[in-house]
Every structure is written in structure tokens, then in C-alpha cells.
Amino acid sequence: MALIYSTPSWVQAHTISIYHGNGSSFFPCYLSKNKAPVFLSNPCKKPNLGRSPLSICAILTKEESKIKKAHDFSFNFKDYMLEKADSVNKALEQAVSIREPLKIHESMRYSLLAGGKRVRPMLCIAACELFGGDESVAMPSACAVEMIHTMSLMHDDLPCMDNDDLRRGKPTNHKVYGEDVAVLAGDALLAFAFEHIATSTKGVTSERIVRVIGELAKCIGSEGLVAGQIVDVCSEGISDVGLQHLEFIHIHKTAALLEGSVAMGAILGGADDEEVSKLRKFARGIGLLFQVVDDILDVTKSSKELGKTAAKDLVADKVTYPKLIGIDKSREFAEKLNREAQDQLAGFDSEKAAPLIALANYIAYRDN
């Protein structure tokens, strides 16, 4: 049994049509006492149901609603993305306003509000909502991870790091404000991220807030994002970098902040330790997936399509997945990571997990 449709005429009060998966057959039937469908040999002949029309209507209405709930659920990811991105952008705009000193706040806002997919904030919010939490509870943490992500991009683009001139389709921060201001603006975003969580999170216990702050600090420190960045910097020009070495870089440089985003949201939503652990594995998988796809896009898309300089890893002689295992094997690896990550969500409510599943697929199949 797949989908339920009501039939017209007098039968409507007593029967339903059951649509079979071959796409061609509709058979009028009624529900017997044990609620199993009984097909009518003559649909025009009123069956002896042994019940009043009103009681049958009640049963059918109840059955229809139960089955429709199971089968008619659909998730519009595009609408979800637009709605959440709009909420995050408004919250970021309010959090980092123009104030004295003007130069530093202008620089912070230039990169923070320059666009971007807002994947990390969405993951934080979706993880919170998976466990019954509200968007408003997760929003300060969602904004904080985006502030830190933006900081990492500002610093990553500096001449002493990746030396990039283009980010999100615009000149990089140091190209507009100078290297000194770009460094300080990134530092300011880093500090403010923690302040924002501590002072703006409402509706949860202080214990959870402290856990979230600790989670964020760990995922971006010397054993997280910074660890990945330093190994990445030190690996440039090395010819014998293997897959394990490359995975260490990406697990820390990229996946750590995505993992932190999901774990923070889950903690705020009230997840227990086992549930947080499953969400960590999910996020670590899509975090590595994010970087594998990034490596593929870097050599298959133009700067205009990406909104940042294309083929810069190739020019810098960096080790990437396509360089080590080729484009086709990289795509196969991406598929495997996506599949294994989504397996971690199998035990959760499918409707509540839909945004996380859709975000994983978005990361896997994005084109910039």
C-alpha cells in the first residue's frame, strides 16, 4: 500500500482507493473490522459493512490521516535554506553592528555579511531542532560558528597563509582594509563569538552553555582547526604526503568546525551523550566530504563559478584528493562518506532529521 486517495460519489463515505506501485491500478475497497482492505467485486453495489456511515467515516478519516502522515511528508530544502539563511543573516547583522572603532567593525562586517552558504549555522540549528530545541535557542551559537568560520577565512586569505585575492566573489578583507586590520578584525570576531554565546543564549541551563563554549573552543584550537591549518601550511611542497596525512589536515581544518556546530546544537537541544556521539560521527563524515568536494571543485570549476580563486591548490603545489587518487576515485570517496554519514541518522525521527540529510546531500552535490 503506497498512497491513499478518496473516491467520489456515495462510496466516498465508505471506501478508499488503494494505489498500487505499478502506477496504473486503482481499486475501490473498504476497511474490514480488523482494518484490512477488502476489495469490492462490484464498486457500484453498496457493501454490508455492519456499521453506520458515520462510524465508517471516522475510521477512514483516522486511517487516511495516519497513512498520509507516513507517506505525504515532503521536505523543501530550498525553502529551508532560504529561511534559515535569512534568519542567520539578520541575527549576524544585529550582533555585529557599526560602532566605534568604525574601521574594525566595518572590516568585521565586510567579511561576515559578504554572503556564504551558512552551512555551519544551519547544521547547528538543525541539530538543535532534531532534539526538540527551538531555533532561537541555537541562534547565538549558530552565529558564533559563522563568526569563527569567517575569521578563519580572513586569516587563511592573508599573504602569509594562502595569499588569496578573492573570497565569496569579492576582494579579500586584507585587499580592502590592509593586512593589519584584517588580522585584528579576525581576532575580534573570534573573541566576540564566545561573548555572544555567553550573553545571548536564553532558554537553556548555564551548564549547557558552558558545555557549548567548551565544545567550540576545543574544535578550533591547537587540536582542532589550528592543528589542521598548521599541518597544511607545513605540508606545502612536500611530495610524499599520503592519504592519512591529508585526512588529518581536513578532519581538523574543515571537519572540526562542522562537527562542533552539530554537537553544539545537539547539546542545546537536550541530546544525551550517546546521541551527541552519533551526531559527531555524522558531522565528521560530512566535514571530510566537504573538503573532498572542495578539492574536486578547485580543479573542475572556474573562479567565477566558485567565487574564489580556482586551481590555487594546484598552483601552490598542495596535496589534494584529486592529486593523490584522481577525480573519479575522489568522487567515489565522496559518495562513500555521504552514505556513511547519513547512516548515523538512521535511528532518529525521519522528519526532524530531514534538514541534516538534505544538508549532507547539499554538501555532496554543490557546485561552488
Of the candidate ranges 134-138, 267-271, 300-304, the one whose mean pLDDT is the lowest: 300-304
* Residue 65 pLDDT: 42
Confidence category of residue 319, pLDDT binned at 50, 70, 90? confident
Across the range 284-302, mean pLDDT stands at 91
* Residue 2 pLDDT: 38
* Residue 367 pLDDT: 84
* Residue 368 pLDDT: 77
**For residues 65 and 256, which has the higher predicted lDDT (pLDDT)?**
256
Residue 47, pLDDT > 70, answer no
Residue 129, pLDDT > 70, answer yes
Residue 67, pLDDT > 80, answer no
Task: Confirm or reject CATH 3.30.56.10 for domain 77-365, answering yes or no.
Answer: no
* Residue 312 pLDDT: 60
Q: Please write the tens of the pLDDT for every residue from 168-187.
A: 889 999 999 999 999 999 99
Measured CA distances, 360 to 5, 211, 252, 363 (Å): 33, 25, 18, 5
Q: Is 163 left (phi over 0), alpha (psi -120 to 50) or beta?
A: left
Rounded Cα–Cα distance for residues 243 and 203 (Å): 44
Residue 7, pLDDT > 60, answer no
Q: Please write the tens of the pLDDT for every residue from 332-349.
A: 999 999 999 999 999 999
Measured CA distances, 237 to 185, 240, 317, 334 (Å): 30, 9, 6, 25
| C-alpha cell belonging to residue 358 | 538534505
- 171 CB-near residues (< 8 Å, 6+ apart): 165
Of the candidate ranges 4-13, 120-129, 259-268, the one whose mean pLDDT is the lowest: 4-13
Residue 28, pLDDT > 80, answer no
Of the candidate ranges 56-60, 118-122, 282-286, 327-331, the one whose mean pLDDT is the lowest: 56-60
| C-alpha cell belonging to residue 272 | 544525551
| Angle in degrees, 0-180, between the axes of helices 256-269 and 206-220, rounded to the nearest 10 | 170
* Residue 302 pLDDT: 72
3-state secondary structure 311-355: CHHHHCCCCCHHHHHCHHHHHHHHHHHHHHHHHCCCCCCHHHHHH
What pTM, to 2 d.p., does this model score? Answer: 0.77
Confidence category of residue 311, pLDDT binned at 50, 70, 90? low
